[in-house]
A and B are shown apart, each in its own frame.
Chain A
């Protein structure tokens, strides 16, 4: 990731001042303390609470009873719906994040061009971000309603045979629609990051390659894409985290149905906790979810560190 890093002056500056570093470290800690304090108290305790509930027998009203060891985990893993939800979470995350990248890259490339009305186009692309996820899902539930929704109204006005077509009745179609809505709401954030990356690529690189007679496609392949890659990485990591944990779209549009076939882990856990009163199982499921993301993060850090080391050589 150090490819675009302008850290060279900083590094030399740091070296120069390393003598004063010692006296700084206490002061530095004081500066970091409020941030750490806020985070540890507000997020730390609930994390502890979830881990505790995951290894105890918990009543539906949250009273912690006897120690259950891995009992909750065993129960959770032996539930076929949980396993099914794991796979669906994988499909959901890969499809939404992958789709988001595929859609966002061309959009970012276009929005980086200089054309009339670009500011308007950029603002429209950002619009899905202006509504909370829950509300987006509510609105889309209405849009795709078979008999009264605006989607079928428009399609049948165009002469397509979608009058009264029930979009959410078939599990596969419902999941595809949810993935598309997921992509739609992830694009603004992703395009913003990618545009940031594109504006940071020096114009001179393109000019030089144009002089060398390279085609625009060639510059895209050999200049733009490699320089954009670190930004794509960031977008992928953050999107994976957000999408993996994303609750409202599926909850509101299909509630995990029909037949649990659109359930992902977070909707599964929510049902376990608040519809079935199995707080222990829900906590165990949450810990599993957390562990999955942790594995992902470790792999990511390992990969970037390996790359970073290479770049430094």
Chain B
């Protein structure tokens, strides 16, 4: 009797499995698209695009999946390794190099319609190229600028937003002196983009990630000067307390609450301010400089995967995403800078004081390198920066360690 029960159980679960298994017979070409969420609006936006696209293309069915950023890499690696990858995937451009090198991505230059590549701002499209192939399209691009709280600057007796690091330092000290709950300059020391926050200082001091000898520029004299620049803010207590515990999001929240005088951030902060910092009167200007003007340009990539069996259909959807009107809508929604030439002249970007700075800074934007092992190099740097900011290592020693780690990884190839 027990056997019969057991048999019934096994049979039952087999039936249940079969019933729950998704059916995979489709008359249409199904294109699976995975996007990562910038905000909770990202998923619905692409879902909407897919619906319109599907209505106009009866032979293709685009299915959109959306995921939060922190899970993207894990999911993509699992998927590719198991052969269940989507046809199109969104990713950070800095991961692209690694995936391309290991053969996970499809080169798209021969899939694109003639003239399509020319609609892009060349800087951003060039970032998607490596070893003579184009591995994706720049789905998002941002430059960074200096956000300042007008009221706090005014209270501190500063009339113009600081243009140089020295001016910024003086301003930060004065703002910080306004009260216990008010901090001068935001300084990031934790999680995503900590290294990016340091690049602002590195580049404006004339430094570079890769030196002229092709080796790490992390320990160059310019890099040391750039680090000392930040250290003086920390030592003068002109930053928020606990730099090594502050993520990008923490700084943004402080700024939105009106507790922070100056923060370096990207255009997406506008979207947050509109919701959470309605009462804060703020302005945006260029990143303070020491010797040269620079900003950090970041793009994210959308690629077609090598395993896709519907590459032309996938490309068709990508071209649809990158139509002028769809891009403009996306830019307005998430607050990114234009990647299409036609978009760049739109009044939304040119006449909007909250966006114009990011466009102005476009020509001086610098980018992180496309090394397959970049994530590790950046992590080594981040770890040393935390030590330096906490006062546990000197800038020279810490940066030397980060540079050695990077050089070792460069040599490993």
Contacts and interface: CB of A to CB of B under 8 A. Distances in A.
Contacts of B119: none
Interface in A49-64: 59-63
A88 interface: no
Contacts of B74: 273-274
Contact of A61 (B80, B191, B384): B80
Interface residues of B, number: 46
B241 A164 contact: yes
A166 B242 CA distance: 5
Interface in A134-153: 145-148
A70 B384 CA distance: 29
Interface in A264-278: 271, 273-277
A98 interface: no
A271 B379 contact: yes
Contacts, number: 122
Contact of A60 (B10, B77, B259): B77
Interface string B379-392: 10011101100101
B246 interface: yes
Nearest to B75: A274
Contacts of B6: 30, 34
A63 B81 contact: yes
Interface stretch (B98-106, B152-160, B359-367): B98-106
Contact of B244 (A163, A170, A271, A279): A170
A3 interface: no
Nearest to B398: A259
A255 interface: yes
B233 to A, nearest CB: 15
Contacts of A271: 379
A76 to B, nearest CB: 14
A63 B375 contact: no
- Which of A27, A258, A274 gathers most chain B CB within 10 Å? A258
Interface in B241-257: 241-246, 250, 253-254, 257
Nearest to B380: A81
B275 interface: no
B315 to A, nearest CB: 22
Interface of A: 27, 30-31, 34, 59-63, 145-148, 163-171, 174, 254-255, 257-260, 271, 273-277, 279
Q: Which 7 A-B residue pairings sit nearest by Cβ, starting from the closest?
A: A166-B242, A62-B81, A169-B245, A169-B242, A258-B386, A168-B245, A258-B244
